[in-house]
């Protein structure tokens, strides 16, 4: 029996799946972060050692029969970081095993395209627009982190909501339901108290990001400020998608845009606004919310790199992961 391994390594968690060549899932476990920019080499080695001990414990001697490993890892966007992770993975497998380390954006893309060319728009705590064309050329727009970029992220939406409240407090902007929402959430009554709560939180970045949910709630209540914020965010995302499309694809090519991340996961609001923001772009794009988690994309990558097509039967077997 031959196997493949897909690894979806994010900033907060890592999902690892062992499957056979037909897409039947054998093991599926979640671990901590494997972002090489966030954890030490020693911590990475410990996590992956635990990963492969667990696989061997559940399916003895299975690692020697793994033919392909595809690891989509956050923070592996440089050759140096990718080689660093590959060096950690290599000793666990035979010399015949094909091992590839790529940015985790590819997992998200392949979870919607099943290996075909396209663009993925990731809008979670952070954001990035990533794509691969038919020549396997990769490109990106954004993803520069919350201090200098991350337009269209949860952090960006939350920050804009707080700014709108403070502008009203100053007398520089219109009233908004977000004022009462934020004051009630933090049990404060002044802008100064609100800022103190946010700046003194354990992680201001994550605190601000989670406030994006309030902006969506205010939008649903037809708050004009929230509507303006999310329309602006949709326009920024649309510009990133258009820019990457023009870098990677021709005018004649049909392009699927996979929408991933928390801002798309629980509501159709942003995807609808994004469709509106792209309406004047001459080229029609297909916006897709994937049915499968990103770890399925890593399995697709593992199959493709050893020449296994993702057939309808394989896809049907992988569908199990969408419900786990």
**Radius of gyration of the chain from its Cα atoms, rounded to whole angstroms:** 21
The predicted-structure confidence for 234-286, as pLDDT tens digits, reads as follows 999 999 999 999 999 998 899 999 999 889 987 789 999 999 999 999 888 89
Residue 37 confidence (pLDDT): 78
The helix (H) or strand (E) run that includes residue 62 is none
pTM (predicted TM-score)? 0.86
- The tens place of each residue's pLDDT in the chain, 324 residues long, gives 799 999 998 777 899 999 999 899 999 999 988 888 777 888 889 999 999 999 999 999 999 999 999 999 988 878 888 898 999 999 999 999 999 999 889 999 999 998 899 999 999 888 899 999 999 899 999 988 888 878 899 999 999 999 999 999 999 999 999 999 999 999 999 999 999 999 998 888 889 999 999 999 999 999 999 999 999 999 999 999 999 999 999 988 999 999 998 899 877 899 999 999 999 998 888 999 988 889 999 999 999 999 988 888 888 888 877 655
Q: Among residues 69, 295, 267, which one has the least CA distance to residue 157?
A: 267
List of E strands, the chain? 3-9, 14-20, 25-31, 66-73, 98-103, 118-123, 127-132, 138-141, 256-260, 286-288
Q: For residues 129 and 241, is the Cβ–Cβ distance under 8 A? A: yes
Distance CA 218, CA 225 (A): 8
The predicted-structure confidence for 83-118, as pLDDT tens digits, reads as follows 989 999 999 999 999 999 998 899 999 999 988 999
Distance CA 73, CA 214 (A): 30
3-class SS of residue 37 = coil
3-class SS of residue 20 = strand
Residue 324 confidence (pLDDT): 53
3-class SS of residue 100 = strand
């Amino acid at each position: 029996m031959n196997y493949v391994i897909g690894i979806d390594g994010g900033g907060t968690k890592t999902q690892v799946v062992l499957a056979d060549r037909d897409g039947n899932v054998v093991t599926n476990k979640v671990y901590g972060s494997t972002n090489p920019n966030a954890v030490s080499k020693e911590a990475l080695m410990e996590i992956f050692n635990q990963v492969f001990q667990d696989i061997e414990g559940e399916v003895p001697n299975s690692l020697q029969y793994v033919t392909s490993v595809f690891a989509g890892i956050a923070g592996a966007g440089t050759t140096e970081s990718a080689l660093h992770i590959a060096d950690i993975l290599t000793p666990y497998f035979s010399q015949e095993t094909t091992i590839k380390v790529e940015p985790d954006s590819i997992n998200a893309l392949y979870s919607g395209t099943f290996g075909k060319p396209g663009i993925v728009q990731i809008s979670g705590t952070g954001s990035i627009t990533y794509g691969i064309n038919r020549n396997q050329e990769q490109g990106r727009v954004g993803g520069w982190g919350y201090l200098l970029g991350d337009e269209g992220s949860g952090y960006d939406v939350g920050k804009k909501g707080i700014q709108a409240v403070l502008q009203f407090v100053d007398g520089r902007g219109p009233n908004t339901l977000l004022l009462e929402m934020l004051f009630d959430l933090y049990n404060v009554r002044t802008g100064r108290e609100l800022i103190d709560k946010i700046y003194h939180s354990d992680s201001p970045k994550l605190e601000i990001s989670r406030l994006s949910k309030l902006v969506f709630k205010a939008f649903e209540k037809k708050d004009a400020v929230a509507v303006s914020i999310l329309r602006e965010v949709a326009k920024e995302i649309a510009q990133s998608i258009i820019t990457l499309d023009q870098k990677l694809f021709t005018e004649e090519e049909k392009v699927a845009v996979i929408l991933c991340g928390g801002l798309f996961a629980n509501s159709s609001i942003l995807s609808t606004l994004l469709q509106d923001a792209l309406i004047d772009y001459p080229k029609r794009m297909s916006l897709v919310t994937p049915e499968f988690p990103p770890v399925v994309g890593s399995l697709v990558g593992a199959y493709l790199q050893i020449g296994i097509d993702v057939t309808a039967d394989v896809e049907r077997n992988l569908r199990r992961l969408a419900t786990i």
